[in-house]
């Protein structure tokens, strides 16, 4: 559910889980040669462009299993750097130059080890 750009908060209910996305920084779109995309299964695998300097806070779960992370992408010298920041004040970070999914998998690996 979204009223973006009127509100910077987007909610999605999927597989009995409620996800809340808060867009912190919209960023800008670089040249097409380095532009990355993300697919949304809930939208028939529609691909969405990911802008440079994009920052979003995502939360899901409840109680002890609640996750709150910040996701960021930066295009540095034509290389995409996907970052997931987490922990108190978002001081911990995992990143990938491969894909957003690789960064997400790295986060899940670290968060499950706690």
Q: Is residue 1 part of a domain?
A: no
More confident residue, 42 or 7: 7
Domain count, the chain: 1
Q: Is residue 76 part of a domain?
A: yes
Asked if residue 108 has pLDDT above 80, the reply is: yes
Residues 98-112, mean pLDDT to the nearest whole number: 90
16 located within any domain? no
Residue 17 has which token pair? 């889980």
For residues 108 and 94, give the distance between their C-alpha atoms in angstroms, rounded to a whole number: 10
21-41, pLDDT tens digit by residue? Answer: 999 999 998 877 788 887 766
Domain that holds residue 58: 21-113
Task: Kindly state whether residue 54 falls inside one of the protein's structural domains.
Answer: yes
What pLDDT digit, counting tens, does each position of 72-98 carry?
A: 999 998 889 999 999 999 999 999 999
pTM of model > 0.95: no
The confidence score (pLDDT) of residue 55 equals 95
Q: 9 lies in a domain?
A: no
């Amino acid at each position: 559910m979204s009223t973006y750009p009127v509100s910077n908060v987007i909610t999605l209910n999927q597989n009995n889980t409620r996800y809340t996305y808060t867009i912190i920084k919209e960023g800008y779109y670089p040249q097409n040669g380095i532009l990355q995309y993300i697919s949304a299964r809930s939208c028939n695998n529609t691909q969405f462009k990911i802008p440079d300097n994009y920052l979003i806070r995502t939360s899901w779960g409840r109680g002890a299993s609640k996750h709150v992370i910040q996701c960021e992408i930066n295009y540095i010298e034509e290389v995409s750097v996907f970052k997931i920041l987490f922990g108190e004040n978002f001081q911990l970070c995992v990143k990938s130059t491969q894909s957003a999914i690789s960064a997400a998998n790295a986060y899940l690996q670290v968060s499950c080890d706690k």
